[in-house]
Structure 1
């Protein structure tokens, strides 16, 4: 009698609640893996896409919901807004990070206090929330005052331009005068009216500068949103009668990594094994270069292993010596010191050409272009005129909300393609690793694509965290099947209407 190999048992199905869920990048990955996911999203456009994609959704600000509303959720995922952290090398971004770290330390102190009293922990959170609320209210008042000053200064500026023009000052000289750090203060003029305009313009500029400084000190209200997932984990872990999440997965831009590392300290105190990992999307089969900071945690004694890279990292073919090189964006993209610890054989990274050809096989109506170069809407190296460029046979540069503005030209030229000189929305989604059939709806669709979690990256992370017991061959087979299912995914025949608070009773995660 021949040897019969028993197939591995089907993986456990987890119930996931996804904060800041966006159009569904993580959700569609969880779906093809067989998990049940419910997202919370405030943007109505993203909710429209989620509805068409059949994603279970609660609409609204995540701060209007609580972990206690979803007691049957076993896994928490999310990607809080990152705009205030993308300038981490500058003053405002650095202050935003420092402020969040300070709040996390306060929560951590409350959590690890000897008595572990829930009421004291909750009071700490309420105090932080109230502090953030007051700052947000004051910031709105300052913004209103700033808009009023900007309006007055625009009027003064027009009057000043007219007066200088009457004196025979050229347009170029006027522009230089107004752009100068000292403005028009250095002008030696006898006209009292013009002098008055100059004084007024100068004073308004100083007032605007002071208001901008004040806004930076107050911070952005979105800064506080990055604390929300941590509070949900604390609430489920420390609130009497609650069960802790079995796993936590959070992702954001690279600048948020110090926040995730602080999160990990708190989660360790709460009984989790954690890992943070800087992930390069093209190293996981996404046809795009992008860096993401990921926090992974499992409750109990199960270690969280590094997510192994399946594809080679992308390196620029050439590193130009001058700042105007067409591929300089590539040269600046990755530090050569970043090395993967995984030495197993890897597939080549996926190019735009390969991804879009596979998409055309599934949707023949997509355009079939000749060899092309993508000219970015963004400048590189601080030079707005030095547009980043990528040829069709390499991965795309990072897909942003401005993807629809990128030009497609004949490869190696500046000649626009006569047809299809912009990516179709479905193509932009494919470069973000969404299925070609993903049903983008609502407004700001390019922004939805750019803000989304790359589903293929999410698939790798979720499989690693939620199925840690699989052997290497089983994990590889499981991942390959899930990738195929993701590429061939189709939306349901009928949309799923997004819920509000009224939809909580009777929902599978509420236990009501």
Structure 2
């Protein structure tokens, strides 16, 4: 994109990065986790191993865009929930930050405060006289109210903003996963990307539905496995650990988490098949099959990653509003 760069916070193992690359957006990532850093570097993705709280826009004076997805552990249903309980305090902090009130804020879990880092970067960039032209953020759907608070703050700073919760299977990811997203631009109105694929509905065949949209992508479509299979989820449905969810290879995967390796894979005759490899789990998260997963905690790296096709859709959605074409520098 004309050689211009940007900054992605919480870059992870590269899901957001690869999606941005697909839209012609390039840059450098900051990531705190040494395992994700190892994967990024093995993949040749420019990376700074650091904490985003120790950096800011002045460290990236040429960046014209900001992207990222803060840690989700305190917001996700499978996590501690302290982030969800702190929502009122988070929204109050957003208002204080927008008013340039420097009163310190703190939360029960330090990770909760990380959801405010992209706003700090955006406001500091404005103060330096070099505001980001483009902002792209994603997180678990429980963060949607935080992004709505961001939208109010950024609108007051002259941005055009769109937020919402998107279903990843509608953007070509072979997995059902709902993500809260935000895109903002200084260059004109923005809208969330239109779905390219049909929504998954249990019991509705893959090729039924709106003929203007592509079928959703099944696990069987995405993975190179020689026979049909059924996935037995590690999680119980309806709060009952004995009531494990099941999906066949003709359906999208369940939401990929750091515990995906615990899911059982059963063949047509009820025989146990090999569980998902790291490469297969990565494919279900939208990564290429040859992504060079490195370091430790690889399932967790994959589960925490942004699905690359969703990131690509978000980045492409902003292009019509840009009078010029920024690229992206990532950070975590």
Q: Which residue of 1 is the match for residue 271 of structure 2?
A: 415
Match of 2:227 in 1: 370
Contact 1:374-1:390 at 8 Å conserved across structures: yes
Question: What residue number does 2:144 align with?
Answer: 257
Q: Normalising by structure 1, what TM-score?
A: 0.60
Find the aligned partners of 1:226 and 1:290 in 2 and give their Cα distance. 20
When residues 394 and 88 of structure 1 are mapped into structure 2, their CA distance, relative to the original with a 3 A threshold, is closer
Aligned residues of 1:41 and 1:60 also touching (Cα < 8 A): yes
**Structure 2: distance between partners of 1:267 and 1:247:** 11
Structure 1 position 20 matched with structure 2 position 10: yes
2:111 to 212, 222, 236: 222
Structure richer in helix, relative to its length: 1
Distance 2:171 2:154 in 1: 27
2:247 maps to 1:400? no
Q: Does the CA-based 8 Å contact 2:175-2:284 persist in structure 1? A: yes
RCO comparison, higher one (Cα < 8 Å, 6+): 2
Distance 1:423 1:56, change over 3 A: same
Whether the aligned pair in 2 keeps the contact of 1:87 and 1:94 (CA below 8 Å) is no
Contact residue 79 and residue 252 of structure 1 kept, 8 A: yes
User: Does the aligned pair in 2 maintain the 1:400–1:451 contact within 8 Å?
Assistant: yes
Q: Distance in 2 between matches of 1:90 and 1:18?
A: 26
Gaps of 5+ in 1: 1-10, 111-120, 133-217, 319-342, 358-367, 471-507
Contact 1:84 1:96 in 2 (8 A): no
1:390 aligns with 2:247: yes
Aligned partner of 1:101 in structure 2 is 91
Aligned-residue offset at 1:61 = 1.1
Candidates 294, 302, 307, aligned match of 2:193: 307
Paired position in structure 2 for 1:245: 132
Q: Distance in 2 between matches of 1:102 and 1:48?
A: 37
Distance 1:33 1:103, change over 3 A: same
The equivalent of 1:45 in structure 2 is: 35
Structure 2 residue 134 is the aligned partner of structure 1 residue 232? no
Describe the shift of the 1:96–1:455 C-alpha distance in structure 2 as closer, same or farther (beyond 3 A). same
In structure 2, what is the equivalent of residue 268 of structure 1? 155
Choose between structure 1 and 2: higher strand proportion.
2
2:207 aligned with 1:352? no
- Evaluate the alpha carbon distance shift between residue 49 and residue 297 of structure 1 in structure 2; reply closer, same or farther with a 3 A threshold: same
How many residue pairs were aligned?
A: 320
| Pair 1:59 & 2:56 matched | no
Could you tell me which residue of structure 2 aligns to residue 36 of structure 1? 26
Greater alpha carbon shift after TM alignment, 265-274 vs 27-36: 27-36
Cα 1:427/1:347, change in 2 over 3 Å = same
CA drift of 1:87 comes to: 4.2
Rounded Cα–Cα distance in structure 1 between residues aligned with 2:228 and 2:78:
37
What is the TM-score with the length of structure 2 in the denominator? 0.91
CA distance in 2, matches of 1:450, 1:457: 15
Classify 1:17/1:469 alpha carbon distance in 2 versus 1 (closer, same or farther; 3 Å).
Answer: closer
Question: Which residue number in structure 2 is paired with residue 431 of structure 1?
Answer: 284
